[in-house]
Amino acid sequence: MTIAAIDSLSWNLVSDFNQMWAYAFMRNAFEAGTVVSIVGGVVGYFVVLRRTAFAAHALSHVGFAGGAGAALLVVDPLWGLLAFCVGAAAVMGAIGQRLRERDVVIGIVLMFALGLGYLFINLYSGNSADVYSILFGQIFGIDTEDVVVTLVVGVIVVTLIGVIYRPLLFASVDPEVAEARRVPVRVLAIAFMTIVGLAVAVSVQVVGVLLIFALLIAPAAIAERLCSRPSSAMVVSVVTALACTWIGLLLGFYFSPPVSFFITSLATGGYVLARVVSYALGRARAVPAVAGDPGSRWPTRSLSPDPAGTIQL
């Protein structure tokens, strides 16, 4: 659903912005979009790091069942999204621990959720536009209550990630040592899935069930190409998500294609650009390294400890 050009773009960004800001639905869209981008950027780093993209994808489809179920009960779809996503995330996190097993469990949950969602839209006699908005996002339809709920969920997600940040990083890259160091690897897996469930539920409002990766995977994947430090990757991921959402909203307001289309196009373009940039940077860096030590990836005097601990952290 689109708001076809109410006003036209004057290219005077200040007056354009003021024009947009005059509409309550645009303010709601920007506020919710901003919160969702921050959440998506932060959570996305760990989704990419832990290779749980499939789980995020499945959770968004579970959200479809939740949203459709809520529409059937004439409740705000956001509540259905939150209930279904968090419930399914806890089940996925608790049952599937090994990767193979996890994928199977996720697949089963995904299948059942889609079946349930189909049943709900079959029973639902309302407007089919409501179903479309769950599938492809309806950011211009966000009301003030949704913004408040999104903000609360966003604060919870970012705080939780902050509290479990270091052990989650440890459990994600080095689970065996983390377990030996008494990091509760299993509990963290369930907690993280629940966080993904929350992030998915609020993101669906903006980009919809089918385009969830635009905010949950693409910004983190772009950041991963450009940064090698976890904290900077997370910052770049958030900035990228914000840029995609804000520019997408601006374009969606002034031009007829839907916001979700602009956000996904920007995310895709950003990813392609990031690949090109990282490839070029990688080539630029590789030249002196090869010249200095041909054929060997070991330092020349590998056994003796390095004389001075000069290292950029």
Residue 168 or 207 having the CB closest to other proteins: 168
Stretch near other proteins under the rule CB under 8 A, chosen from 8-16, 24-32, 74-82, 163-171: 163-171
Scanning 34-42, 44-52, 82-90, 250-258 for contacts with other proteins by CB under 8 A, the matching segment is 44-52
Instruction: Identify which of 206, 207, 210 has the alpha carbon closest to the alpha carbon of residue 58.
Output: 210
Nearer to other proteins, 85 or 238 (CB): 238
Per rule CB under 8 A, is residue 24 in the interface with other proteins?
no
Q: Do 139 and 29 contact (CB within 8 A), yes or no?
A: yes
5: contact with other proteins by CB under 8 A: no
For position 291 contacting other proteins by CB under 8 A, the verdict is: no
Q: Please pick, from the candidates 66, 167, 197, 270, the single residue that binds other proteins as defined by CB under 8 A.
A: 167
Residue closer to other proteins (CB basis): 128 or 300: 300
Among 3, 9, 49, 235, binds other proteins (CB under 8 A): 49
Nearer to other proteins, 128 or 301 (CB): 301
Of these, 18, 115, 127, 229, which contacts other proteins (CB under 8 A)? Answer: 229
Q: C-beta of 292: minimal distance to other proteins in Å?
A: 10
Q: Measured from the CB atom, is 18 or 166 closer to other proteins?
A: 166
Of 178-197, binders to other proteins (CB under 8 A) are 178-183
165 near other proteins (CB under 8 A): yes
Phi/psi at 17 (nearest 5 deg)?
Answer: -65, -45
Q: 159 with 38: CB under 8 angstroms? A: no
Q: Is 287 in the site for other proteins (CB under 8 A)?
A: no
User: Which residue from 25, 174, 243, 246 is in contact with other proteins, where contact means CB under 8 A?
Assistant: 174
- The answer to whether residue 283 forms part of the interface with other proteins (CB under 8 A) is no
Instruction: Round to whole Å and give the CA distance between 102 and 92.
Output: 7
Is residue 308 at the binding interface for other proteins, with CB under 8 A as the rule? yes
Q: Closer CB to other proteins, residue 4 or residue 180?
A: 180
312 touches other proteins (CB under 8 A): yes
Q: Which residues bind other proteins (CB under 8 A)?
A: 45, 49, 51, 162-167, 169-170, 173-174, 176-183, 223-225, 227-230, 233, 297-299, 301-313
